[in-house]
Structure 1
């Protein structure tokens, strides 16, 4: 009985295996996308053709449906002195028969200005036609920025130390911005003696909404902000390139002093980028940028810190230096102003009491620390020979000394 049962069991198992094999043979094969290396070669050729100003080669990687928009983009990019255009494919996934999606890190470099590329993450849709793959779509990844030339025709104005690229802006306005940037660069060089590129790239979009798209962030967060600087903190000389992005609406409401102040402040961020790390608190990075922008202007403390002066006179002087959250865009504007002014006064205190060389040395020492915890304490001890408690007390006393008078 055992033997017969065994034979039946083996026969049923063989029949079931055969049935499964037949069913498996009827199942549609899994869609296969292109290999990552194949997509990389496609995009490398696309990039090389752009740099060579070979329009036919540039279009060869694209589905014909993209040709009209691609020709427009090709023409707009002719206004920008490109020194590099690259894609680094980070992943490829099949999206159905003859279709795939690739993820890539895109980078471009402006000749004479960028030591490293300005980067963003892209999503590329791909389709197979006649045995080869084509790009059928190219869009920013979630949270990644749009590029200026995707917003309209680009106007370029070259300064002595700056390149200003604008969309929807007249040449006269862009020239004024370039002139202010040209003045900002040597002013920052005097305040920050450490080596840096000594030139900046400024982007001027057509509107606040367009600025938000360049930043990959909600435009409303930047409504009252005249300009911001993008870049990677502490990335070294090959870090992604910085861009100063102007909010044309807020910037346009400023007088000549305000416009110069804004561009000098933002240029300071460019100059200090490689020394600014996750160990650097915002009160120090923003305070140093304000200090460099006010340096040599003759502005009094009350003129430089009106909101903080009002708080001191009303008995609302802060007890501590502001934390990073106090600098968040889109919150209480007066509170954010007091945070910036507090950082400025702390940096001005160091420059006045210990010396400007100690201020820049202190900044570098904080940024060089391997982590946020302990960075200020060590730099205060090593560079200024003081403690956090003593420094805070001296800073609070300076609030009354400099701002407490009507």
Structure 2
């Protein structure tokens, strides 16, 4: 469809050039240009009022609901760009870009739909705003946001008690220096944690069915991959699954997710999930005193039953919609592979291996090249070493 549209645009441009002597009006603005510019001006005023904490000026542009829900969120930037105007003039699609102060090095990009009405003087008024079709919600779409600021963290929640959000901040504040000790200090060294009211709220933020994340305590999402910059990541919590974890489990989860934030700029399409998830688990379990059998119960059961894995898990083995036990074995397998590298070659080599894989231009050859360059081994030898390691630690 994109190709046909591009072809039509090129054809239209060519027709305009061919007919230019007789029809010099080909470059006239589209009929909605004036209306679109008017809507853009209202959204610019709306953004300026929000950043300037001017509720009165904000109210002159439309509904106050977003303002009141966002009051606690420290914003460094907030801007809309109108991308389309509805045929009937009562709606518009826009791209929202915003940064949280002290946290984001690149803006979050969100597709939004606005409901509009005319004012008495012929201007525009925003009566409602929400996610565009197919886009995930933003946290303030779910209610008033409460903010808790930690030493290395910002926790934003809806439908949550402030005391509970402080608990997340304490764990995140422990996670950040722990990740820096393992990965190094060349990352933002801060994390934003989103805590919605429920599993359904988590799924709405991610724009996915709730069933996909049932039993998953948290995920990290890279929302806007800026050119050459690390994206603005968010750790999104499933409060229902998180609530049933013990203190250690909660700390491991937040350290795991914080690791994803730290390693994001070194994680590319060339990085297999066994490595990215395994490394995050390796960091999460550092210093906890958990034995391999305690941290990898599903894989321990498989090995005890005579089912030693033949290969490291493929990316599709990490899907959240499959067998929970199989998913757990995939995570545990990746963790033990990273643990083996740290034990056999050292933690510095583990970091170097991770970066070397991500630096490869394509997935094909990435792991093989890094194994050869950093660990001086082959995929076959590495797999055999890993199988022996799994057998020795879990058997």
What's the TM-score bracket when you normalise by the shorter of the two chains?
0.7 to 0.9
Kept after mapping to 2: 8 A contact 1:167/1:204 = yes
Kept after mapping to 2: 8 A contact 1:233/1:274 = no
What is the TM-score when the length of structure 1 is the normalising length? 0.85
Q: Do the aligned partners of residues 33 and 134 (structure 1) sit closer, same or farther apart at CA in structure 2, a change above 3 Å counting? A: farther
The secondary structure found in structure 2 opposite 1:315 is: coil
Matched, 1:377 2:383: no
Matched, 1:258 2:249: yes
Match of 1:174 among 162, 165, 173: 165
Q: Do the aligned partners of residues 42 and 153 (structure 1) sit closer, same or farther apart at CA in structure 2, a change above 3 Å counting? A: closer
Q: Do the aligned partners of residues 234 and 85 (structure 1) sit closer, same or farther apart at CA in structure 2, a change above 3 Å counting? A: closer
In the TM superposition, what are the counterparts of 1:23-34 in structure 2 within 5 Å?
32=32, 34=34
CA apart distance, 1:132: 2.7
Kept after mapping to 2: 8 A contact 1:283/1:343 = yes
| Structure 2 residue runs without a partner (length 5+) | 1-29
Match of 1:78 among 53, 58, 71: 71
CA RMSD of aligned residues (A): 2.0
- The aligned counterpart of 1:120 is 110
- The aligned counterpart of 1:95 is 87
Matched, 1:305 2:319: no
Cα distance in 1 for partners of 2:227, 2:277 equals: 20
CA apart distance, 1:127: 4.3
CA displacement, residues 64-91 of structure 1 (integer Å, 9 cap, x when unaligned): xxx3xx2x331221211111112233x2
| Structure 1 residue runs without a partner (length 5+) | 1-29
- The aligned counterpart of 1:345 is 336
- The aligned counterpart of 1:148 is 139
What is the TM-score when the length of structure 2 is the normalising length? 0.87
- The aligned counterpart of 1:285 is 276
CA displacement, residues 141-200 of structure 1 (integer Å, 9 cap, x when unaligned): 233221212212322211111111111211221111111111111110011015011111
Cα distance in 2 for partners of 1:368, 1:172 equals: 42
Kept after mapping to 2: 8 A contact 1:234/1:277 = no
CA displacement, residues 196-217 of structure 1 (integer Å, 9 cap, x when unaligned): 1111111111111111111111
CA apart distance, 1:270: 0.6
Match of 1:249 among 219, 240, 250: 240
- The aligned counterpart of 1:20 is none
Cα distance in 2 for partners of 1:94, 1:169 equals: 36
